[in-house]
Structures are given as C-alpha cells and as structure tokens.
Structure 1
Amino acid sequence: MRETVTASELDLALVNALQLRPRASWTELAPALGVTASTLARRWDRLQEEGLAWVYAAPGREFSRTRCSAFVLVRCAPGSRSRIAERLCAFEEAATIEHTGPGSADLLLDVLTPGLPALKRFLITRLEPLPGLVSVECLLATSLSVEGSRWRLRSLAPTQLTALGPPGAGTAERLSGVELDVVDRALLDALVRDGRLPLAALADHAAASPATVRRRLRRLADSGVLTLRCDMASALAGSPVPVSLLGRAPARDTATIHRTLAALPECRLVASVTGSANVFATLWVHDLGDIQRRETALCARLPTLTVTDRIVGLGTVKRMGHLLDEDGRRIGVRPIRPW
C-alpha cells in the first residue's frame, strides 16, 4: 500500500504555476515562487517520480471542430466492469476512462479519433465485441467551450500570479484543411508522453532543428491543435468529486449556458453534444452534497436548462493516455494519437 500523499505549499504552487505556463523554465518560475531554480527542479523530479504531477499534450480547442471527439457511456454486466476497463486501456482511441456511480453508465469514456470513420471502427470492431458489454451510448461533441487544461489548482497568491505574467496569447490561426506533416506528428507523439521535454530532445525526436521545433510548437498551440496540461493526483487537488451533467436546452440559449458554466471555478469541461441532451459539462465539486447544491444554483440561473442525467465519477483509470492507480497517481502511459 502506498503511503499517504503529502505535498507542501511549494509543491502546490509549483503545480499551479505549471498549469499556467507548462513549459516555462525553472529560471523563469523561480522569482515568482521565491525559491531557486534548482529547488524547483528537484521538487518537480520528485512529484513526477511519485506520479503526483505530470505535464503532457492533449487536443486543443479546435479538435472537436476539425476531428472527432465523443463521450461514450458504457453499461457492463455485473462483475465485468474492471475487466472491460482494463481492456479499454490498451486502445489509444479511449483517451480517458472513468468508473462511474450507479446510474446510466458503469464507465464513461472520452474517445478521440481523427474522424467519424475511425470512431465507427472503434465502436464496432473494438468496443462492442468486448465480453460483458451490455450497451453503448455515444454522444458526439459538436463544439468544445472548456477543456481540462483550463482547470486551476488556485494555490498561487495574487502577487505570484502577477509575477508569472499572463500565459502567451494565441493567434487564433486555424489549421482546418491543413495536413500535419511528419515533424508535427513526431512532436505530438513525444509531447503526449512528456510535455516538458527540452527543445534539444524534441529536435532529436523529430529530426529537426531546435528553431524549427520552437516554431512548430507555437503554431500547434496557437492554432488550438494541442494544449499543454499540468495534471496531478486527485489528493493534490483536494480529492474532488467529478460529476458530469447532461442537460437539454434550446439551441438559442446554449452559448449563454456555456459561458455561465465556463465561469465556474469547479468547471473542467463544457461541450455541445448530439442526442437527447445537447449540453455536457464536467465539474469537480467538493463532496457529494455539493452536486445537488451546484445543480440547484445552476438551474436557478439558467431556467431553460433541464439537467437530464448526473454521472458521478468513482475513479479514473486513464486520463488522456496516462494510466492512474486508485490514488490517482500516474503509473504509466498509453499514448494517444488522435491527430
């Protein structure tokens, strides 16, 4: 059994700083955090080695517009859920796999593919034949307003946030219709494993110069093809309770609903989806009782929103290709390649 997760205030501040600036050097972060660069390097090495925090690349805001993102609800026969989840961990299309509480699903999957044909192949040839699977419901994401990289630990003081400065602003360049080349794909393949790989290591991996790598990284990030995340074991985040809300609202109101949800500190994801529900949102709340309170407050502010389902997360076994243990620590990686 692992020992209890412990993290200092500096550890939490470091993780929060990397959420804001995932590839910043230790020299850049040290003044804001009030310690030396070598101290930050040692702290980060420990956090990584113990599976408590990690940085990686994930699909950015443009992914659902140019490629295919879906939330898949899986019902399993009694006694088969863990076995099915273990099998699904091997599939790169199943980017995130979460055990859920009693209700409409036993597993909630975040499935990412380059397009609809690839999604169809995953559902029909990989998912549906699994022994013990009872039913599958697939909700296609038609737009993504908030994704996981926007969630913050909020451990930094206002003066530290000011010292760090704002994250680099994107140019909103769109890459629709532009094929990623071999250098782009090599960089993506390396960054989904480790988002803080130095430029020299990335250049070797992509067989390109450091200057080329620097330009490509900026282009991929600014265009929304990728986003860099600093993630952590759930204990470092205060062991929040994940709850995904499915809701139905008139199409004319969805933009307002998305903005309202996105403004909530506990909001981790907001998307428009196909099906009987057209709003999908994931919140990380303090406890089970907070679910009802949040829903009541939301419905009071958004009278045209009807919540049709609440999916409570019991434990995540895979998040964006990174394998997690029962404590939410990273124990391995099965790289995603949805681009």
Structure 2
Amino acid sequence: METTGRAHDSARGPHRRTVAPSHQQEEPMPQIALDAADHALIAEVRRDGRVTYEALSLVLGMSRPAARARLRRLLDAGVVRVVGVAHPSVFGRTAYAHVTVDVAGPVLPVAEQVCAMDDAVYVSVVAGHFPLVAEVRSADQEALAAAVRRIAALPGVRDIRTAVYTAIVQHSHFPPGPSKVAALDAVDLALVENLQRDGRTPFAELAAAVSLSTSAARTRVLRLLDSGAVHIGARVRPDALGATRLSGFQLTLDGNHAADALKTIGDLTEVEYLAHTIGRCDAIGTAASHSAEGELTFLETLRAVPGIRSVESWTHLRLMKEDYAPPKSD
C-alpha cells in the first residue's frame, strides 16, 4: 500500500478520508509550535497509542497531569489522532496492488470514479509520468484482477500499469507482517470498529459498547494487539512536523542486492512506506520531505543506494481518498 503514512490524516471516522468534490479545497489546519517534549510525546504515542499517562510522564520527565495536558493539546489541535489500524486480512483482504493511471483529459473526474470503488482504498492525484495513483485491496487475486480491469475500463482512462505487493518492508503506522488471528468473531470486529474511531477509548467504554465486562473487553483488546490484528498508534499531521511534501517512488532493483537495498531504504528517515512488488517494478514507496530541496536530497540519496538500478518518482498533489475500513455490506 502506498500510503500517506500519514499523518495525512484523512478520515471518515479516524480511518476514512471522505472524498471531497474536486472544486472544494480543505480548510487549513491551525498551526501550533512543537517543542522537544511534544516531539518525544509524539514518538511514544506513535509506538503505542494506548500508552498510559504515567508512562508518558516518565518519558517526558513531567507530572502525570502535565503529560495528559500535553497530549490533549495535540489531539484538540488536530496535530495527532490516535486510531486503531486493522490488518487487512481481518476484513478478508489478502491481495494488494499499486496502480498508476494515465488519463485522456482532466484527471479529477476519473479520480472520483476510482474513489467510488470499494477496493480502491487509496487514491491520489500526482505530478509525474501518470497523473493518478491508486492502491487496490481485494479478497484474492481474482478479485484484485477484476478491480484493476474496472479501473482500466473507466471513461477517460488511457492506460494503466500495475505492481502487485508481495511483502511490506516498512510502514509508518503498522508493523509489517501477517496477523496471527485466524478469525475474528462479531465482538472482536465491534471492538476493532470502536478502536478505529478512537484508539484511546477506555476499556470500560469499549466493554459497554460490546456488552462485555471491562476485564473481558481488556483481554480481547490485548489479544487483538498482541496478535497483530490491530495496531493502535498516532497519526500525525505532516505539516506539524515540517514535512509538507509527499512523494512516491518505484524502483528497479539488482536481484543480487535487492534485500540489502530494501533494508537500507526502509531505514531512511523520510520513508513512510515501502513494499516489495512484482509487475511494473520491484518496489513501491512513499517519502515525506520538508521542501522541494528536501525531496531532491532524498531522491539523490535513494539513487545512490547500492542495488538500485532505476528510480521513478512522483509528487502527490491532492489526496482524494484514504479508507482502509471494510467495504460496506449491502
């Protein structure tokens, strides 16, 4: 999944970005100054979205009320949102692909048609060789192929190129790797849904929402977290951290050094997402930079990594959709 990583905190509920008509622009978010304590707090909440105020106070070297007030300030300003991210397999989505789309004529009408597809979980208008990129998540390879064909058949689409994900190397919001939960029952799914809205919902409120005791709800949530079925962390508004430019990139790798190259790239601080792929390229990634110069510096660093044969990049202009929730049932 190419993702805004992202703090590009888009959402219908904490995990969904509502598609806005192409003529509308989003309201600018209020700006607040962040100090070293704020950055330390954000790093801790990114790691564990349900970290206790007591633990935060120890990390920050301040009182529990002061740590609580710090986090509340960031939440109220929209700098940070703490949300649960469910592993795609929880909702039966096991096949993923990245699609670049060439368009004859204006791109926004085509982008809005792609946004309307349940399987299209991420859609962005970009500046690059192709003006539109999308991530598709489907139940299986057959459904994935059908979704890609639907995009190719849309009015205005001239050409598409597909890269199928084989492994997630780096993800800023979710630990890579499969979920260890074989199946979730209705209560588990209800807990996941509540955590997607607010990852710090108290266990007592979660229990009341699913008609369990507080201890039973706590046990279930901890099992979901330990198994990798859901991860709770902070999504941070990128401009608050000075990262105002988001770029995507695809790589062709030297097969003899591909693993080392991907490890090196995944460790770069700018990289928010990195996936191994087959198809039009060997890897897909997303990086956040503070400026055009920062983006250029990152791409130059990328091109210098041993094992990379070629780099193609694009700059995100407008994120149209970011929605990893399950498709709505009829």
For this structure pair, what is the TM-score category when the shorter chain's length is used for normalisation?
Answer: 0.7 to 0.9
Q: Which runs of 4+ in 1 moved over 6 A?
A: none
- Paired with 1:77 and 1:197, the residues of 2 have a C-alpha distance of 46
Q: Is the 8 A contact 1:60 1:224 kept in 2?
A: yes
Q: What whole-Å deviation, never above 9, does each CA across 1:142-189 have from its counterpart, x for those lacking one?
A: 0011112279xxxxxxxxxxxxxxxxxx9x89637x222222222222
- Paired with 1:49 and 1:91, the residues of 2 have a C-alpha distance of 32
Q: How far does residue 86 in structure 1 lie from its aligned partner after superposition?
A: 4.3
Of the three residues 89, 112, 115, the one matched with 2:137 is 112
Q: What whole-Å deviation, never above 9, does each CA across 1:213-272 have from its counterpart, x for those lacking one?
A: 333333333333332231122211203422222111243422211211122111111111
Change (3 A) 1:54 1:89: farther
Give aligned pairs, total: 300
Tell me, yes or no, if structure 1 residue 254 matches structure 2 residue 258: yes
- Paired with 1:194 and 1:184, the residues of 2 have a C-alpha distance of 15
- Paired with 2:252 and 2:59, the residues of 1 have a C-alpha distance of 44
Q: How far does residue 28 in structure 1 lie from its aligned partner after superposition?
A: 2.5
- Paired with 1:84 and 1:222, the residues of 2 have a C-alpha distance of 40
Change (3 A) 1:39 1:131: farther
Matches within 5 A, 1:68-83: 68-81=95-108, 83=109
The DSSP-based 3-state class of the residue aligned with 2:197 is: coil
Tell me, yes or no, if structure 1 residue 51 matches structure 2 residue 62: no
Identity %: 23
The DSSP-based 3-state class of the residue aligned with 1:141 is: strand
Q: How far does residue 121 in structure 1 lie from its aligned partner after superposition?
A: 4.7
Change (3 A) 1:201 1:73: farther
Matches within 5 A, 1:165-184: 175=180, 178-184=182-188
Q: Is the 8 A contact 1:12 1:236 kept in 2?
A: no
Q: Is the 8 A contact 1:113 1:119 kept in 2?
A: yes
- 1:14 is matched by which residue type in structure 2? L
Q: Is the 8 A contact 2:163 2:280 kept in 1?
A: no
Q: Is the 8 A contact 2:107 2:132 kept in 1?
A: no
Tell me the TM-score normalised to structure 1 length: 0.74
Query: For structure 2, which runs of at least 5 residues remain unmatched after alignment?
Result: 1-26
- Paired with 2:104 and 2:165, the residues of 1 have a C-alpha distance of 27
Matches within 5 A, 1:259-270: 259-270=263-274
Change (3 A) 1:186 1:113: farther
Tell me, yes or no, if structure 1 residue 238 matches structure 2 residue 264: no
Q: How far does residue 128 in structure 1 lie from its aligned partner after superposition?
A: 4.7
- Paired with 1:261 and 1:72, the residues of 2 have a C-alpha distance of 21
- Paired with 1:299 and 1:116, the residues of 2 have a C-alpha distance of 32
- Paired with 2:221 and 2:107, the residues of 1 have a C-alpha distance of 42
Partner of 1:160: none
Change (3 A) 1:276 1:131: closer
Of the three residues 159, 167, 175, the one matched with 1:135 is 159
Change (3 A) 1:187 1:43: same
Q: Is the 8 A contact 1:173 1:223 kept in 2?
A: no
Q: Is the 8 A contact 2:85 2:174 kept in 1?
A: no
- 2:130 is matched by which residue type in structure 1? A
Tell me the TM-score normalised to structure 2 length: 0.76
Query: For structure 1, which runs of at least 5 residues remain unmatched after alignment?
Result: 152-169, 322-334
Give the superposed CA RMSD: 3.4
Tell me, yes or no, if structure 1 residue 149 matches structure 2 residue 186: no
Q: What whole-Å deviation, never above 9, does each CA across 1:279-325 have from its counterpart, x for those lacking one?
A: 112222333233443333334331x3122411222243444x3xxxx
Of the three residues 66, 86, 94, the one matched with 2:120 is 94
